[in-house]
Structure 1
C-alpha cells in the first residue's frame, strides 16, 4: 500500500474507534435511563403471574414473550437492568474506595504500613477471585447484599496495587513537598493533592471492570447465590429459563443479549477512556498518526 493509502486507513480506523466508543457511551446512558425510569417504561408488572399466558412467543402484546409463569419478559429485563446496573455500580464504588484508601496509605506512609498492606494484597490476589466470592456468599448466605460484599472484598486488591504505584511517584513531586513545608497534614495532602492525581487509571480500570462485575453478579445469581426468585435479575432469568431452552428459547436469548450488550458497551467505553486519559497512548498516537 502507498503511504497516502496507509494514512487514509489509519485516519478511518481512528474515526471508527472514536465512533464506536461514542456509541458505547450512548448505550450505557440509555441503559441507565432505562434503569432509572423502569417503572414508567415497563409495560407490565414484572412480578405479575398470569398462567393463562405462560410461555407465549414474542407478539404484539408481549414483545419479548412471556415466561413459564406468564410474566412479561420485556418488563423483567427492564427491571433487571435496574438491579444489575445499580448493584454493579454500588459494588464498584466500594471496590474503588477500598483500593484507593489502602493503596494510597501503603504508598504514602511506606515502611511497615506498606509491607503489611501489600502482603495482605498479595494473599488476596493469590486466590481465584470468583471462587473466593462463592465461598464468602456461601458463608454469608445467598442474597444480593451479601453478593456485593463478597465481590467487593475479593476485588479491591488489584486497585490498591495500581493506586500504590501511582502514589509512589506522585508523593515525590514538588507540589507535595511544598504542601508538607507549609504544614499541611498527611490526610489533607492525600485527599487534596495525591489521590486526585492518581485517580485517572482507577477510573479507566473501574469502567473496564464494570463488565466483569456485571458478569460476576449475573453468573453468581445464575448459580443461585445472588438475587433470589422472583426477583427480575438477568442471571436469575437465565437460571429460570434454562429448562425451557428447546421449547421457549426467548427466555434465555433476551436476558443473554442484555448481558452481552452491557458488558460489551462498558469494555468499549473503557478502551476509549484509556486512550483518552493515558498520556503514553496519546503521545504514541501523536507520533505515529
Structure 2
C-alpha cells in the first residue's frame, strides 16, 4: 500500500507539472479553452494568471489541491469554473456502466473463442498441436475506434436499429459495449484457449474422464483451473475499458471519464486532470486487489501446500501452414506496393474503387492506398516489433519481482494512452518518437502481470516442491523448472499483443497525437479515411484488413512457441538436487504419466 501511495503521488505531481514541462503558457491554453474567439491580450492573460494563482508556481497549486482533497474537495475547473468532484463522479458513473456492458460482451466473446477447445477437451479429443483460431485473431486485431465507427455508421445510422450518438439510457450503451468488448474478449479468449489444453491433461481431468464424469462438469472445472492465471490481466482490462476508451467515447459522444480526462489534458485543466487520473489509479488498485483475492479463493490452499500441477507441460509444437500463408500474403502486399508512389496526388481519381490501376482503390486526395499501406508497413511493423521485444524483456524481468512490479503495473496501466502521450510530449518534446515512447511505457504491464501470475502458480506445483526437497538451489529451480514453464505462454502472449501495439499507435494517430500527414502510417490512414467510410469503404477496409492479417499471423505463429525443459545430469550443473546423504548427484526423474482409461461403450 505504501508503494502504491508513492507511485500515485509521483504520478499526480508529474501531472501537476505538465503545463510547465510542456513549455507552454497555461494561461493562454485556459483562455483559448474558455473562448476561442477571445484575443490573448496581455491584460487578459494577466487576469487569468491572477484568478488561477499561476504566478505562484506549480508547487503551491499542487499543495492547495491536495489540501482540498483532505476536506473532500477537488477544487474548481479552470475552464468551466464548476466543482470538479461532481463532474468527475458523474463521468465515472458513465464509464462504469459502459465498462459493465463491455465486460459482459468480453465474457461472451471469450466463451465463444474457447468453445471448441472446451468441447474437445472435455471429451478427450483435444489435439494440442492444432493452430490457434484465426477468426479470433482477426477480431482481436481490429481497432476499437474502427469497430465503433462501423457500428455507428451501419447499425446506428443506415439500419437505424440502435442509437449511435449520446448517452441517455441502456439502448445507447449497446454499440459502444460491442466496440470495446469484442477485441478485448478475443484477446482474453486466446489466452484462456492457450491454458485449457494443460488443464485437460492434468491427472484429475484424466481420472474424471475415466470415471465417467459428465463432460460439462469437466469443462467447468478446467475453466476454474485456468481462470486464476488470467484474473490479473482481467483487472488490467477493466481499467483500460474505463480510462482507455477515449476513442470509442469520442466516436459515440459519450461523457465518460476517459473523454473528460482527454479534454482536461488538452485544455491543461489541472484540477480536473489530476482528479480524473487519481480516480483511475484508485480504480486500478481496487481491481487488482479484487483479482488477486478472487484468484486465491479459486485456487484455495494449493498455493501454500504445493499441490498444483503445471499447466504448461512440454508439448509438441503446433505445425500449421497458416503462418506461412499469412506471412506470404503480408509480404506480397508490401512487395507489390513498395514500387508505387505513396505521395503522388491525382485529384481526378479521388475515392476510386479497387481496379487494375488502384488494386486497393484511392483515397480522398487520389493517392494509391496500396502504396500507402505498403510504405506504412515498414514503419508500423518495425516500430511494433521493436516495442513488443522491449515490452517482452521488461515484462519478464519485472514479472519475476511481483511485489515490485504489481503496483507499478497497476499505476502505469491506469494512465490512458493519450495522457501518457501528453506526458511524454511534455518531458521529451514532440517528435516522431513521442507516440512510440508513450506506447512502450505501458506495453509491458500485461506481460509482467501474466508472468507474475504464472510464477505464483508454478511455485506451488508438486514437481517444484519435490525438486526443492531434493536439495535444488533457487537458481536451478528458476532456470531449469520455472522459466521453461513460464516463458512459452508469455512469449505467445507477447505475439498476441503485437497487433495491439500497432493499434495503440494507430489510436494515437486517430486522436491526432501520433504520426502527422502525409505519413502513410496505418493508424493515420484509418483516421484520414474514416470520414469517407460510407462513400468509399475500401479506403478503411484495406488498412484494417492488413492489420487483421498481422493479427492472424501473430496468433498462428504463437502456437508453435515451445521451450522444452532441459534435462541434464546433476553433476554438470552446480546446485542441482541430490537425494543421497553423500551428495551423489542424480537427475530429477520425470513424473509418471497417468494412463488414459476409455470406458467401453454400451
TM-score normalised per structure 2 = 0.36
Matches of residues 120-131 of structure 1 in structure 2 within 5 Å?
Answer: 120-125=408-413, 127=414, 129-130=416-417
**Alpha-carbon distance between aligned partners in 2 of 1:60 and 1:119, rounded to the nearest angstrom:** 55
**Structure 2 spans left out of the alignment, 5+ residues:** 1-118, 135-319, 566-592
Residues 1:263 and 2:561 aligned together:
no
Q: The residue matched to 2:131 in structure 1 has which SS?
A: helix
Q: The residue matched to 2:433 in structure 1 has which SS?
A: helix
Q: Deviations over 1:224-275 (max 9, x none)?
A: 22222111122111221123334433222212222233234434544x358x
- Measured on the aligned residues, the alpha-carbon RMSD in Å equals 4.3
Residues 1:118 and 2:406 aligned together:
yes
TM-score normalised per structure 1 = 0.68
Q: Deviations over 1:206-241 (max 9, x none)?
A: 011113222222222222222221111221112211
Residues 1:81 and 2:369 aligned together:
no
Cα 1:13/1:178, change in 2 over 3 Å: closer
Cα 1:121/1:43, change in 2 over 3 Å: closer
- Equivalenced residue count is 258
**Structure 1 spans left out of the alignment, 5+ residues:** 1-5, 107-113, 181-185
> Relative to total residues, which structure has the larger helix share, 1 or 2?
1
**Alpha-carbon distance between aligned partners in 2 of 1:80 and 1:11, rounded to the nearest angstrom:** 46
Match of 1:215 in 2: 503
Alpha-carbon distance, 1:92 to partner: 0.7
Instruction: Return the structure number with greater relative CO, CA threshold 8 A, min gap 6.
Output: 1
Q: Deviations over 1:70-89 (max 9, x none)?
A: 22111111222222222111
Q: 2:131 aligns with which of 15, 18, 26?
A: 18
Match of 2:486 in 1: 198
Residues 1:92 and 2:388 aligned together:
yes
**Alpha-carbon distance between aligned partners in 1 of 2:548 and 2:130, rounded to the nearest angstrom:** 19
**Alpha-carbon distance between aligned partners in 2 of 1:212 and 1:132, rounded to the nearest angstrom:** 18
Match of 2:443 in 1: 155
Q: The residue matched to 1:91 in structure 2 has which SS?
A: helix
Q: 1:64 aligns with which of 351, 354, 360?
A: 360
Q: Do the aligned partners of 1:176 and 1:189 also contact (CA within 8 Å) in 2?
A: no
Match of 2:327 in 1: 29
**Alpha-carbon distance between aligned partners in 2 of 1:213 and 1:229, rounded to the nearest angstrom:** 21
Between stretches 132-141 and 217-226, larger displacement belongs to: 132-141
Q: Do the aligned partners of 1:24 and 1:268 also contact (CA within 8 Å) in 2?
A: yes
**Alpha-carbon distance between aligned partners in 2 of 1:176 and 1:232, rounded to the nearest angstrom:** 59
**Alpha-carbon distance between aligned partners in 1 of 2:516 and 2:387, rounded to the nearest angstrom:** 18
**Alpha-carbon distance between aligned partners in 2 of 1:81 and 1:176, rounded to the nearest angstrom:** 52
Alpha-carbon distance, 1:50 to partner: 3.2
